[in-house]
Amino acid sequence: MRLSIFVGCFAVAAVAVQFGLLPSGTNGSNLVWVILLALVLSAPLSYVLLRKQRDEMSEQIVSTVDRAKERLEANRTREDHVTP
């Protein structure tokens, strides 16, 4: 999803530079300039548009870590009560 946002911003920046809406790069650095513009445009868009996915992924990671901690605690307490 992040890549598609970047590609869209790249296309918009390329068209804007081509039509003179944004300044072009100097000495043949136009491609680099358009890539930088696309990065600057896509970063805040991705932050806003992908917030829901980022929150869902965070919840999944937290639940996975919590389950691992519970298993570790269960194994640790089980080992403490073992008598030879």
User: Mean pLDDT throughout 42-60?
Assistant: 93
> Smallest Cα–Cα separation from 38: which of 77, 2, 73?
2
Q: Are 37 and 22 in contact (CB under 8 A)?
A: yes
Convert the pLDDT of each residue in 33-42 to its tens digit. 899 999 999 9
Amino acid 31: pLDDT: 87
Q: Measured at the alpha carbon of residue 56, what is the angle toward residues 53 and 60, in degrees to the nearest 5?
A: 135
Entry pTM: 0.65
Q: Quick one: tokens of 69?
A: 């901690």
Cα separation, 61 vs 81, whole angstroms? 31
Radius of gyration of the chain (CA): 24
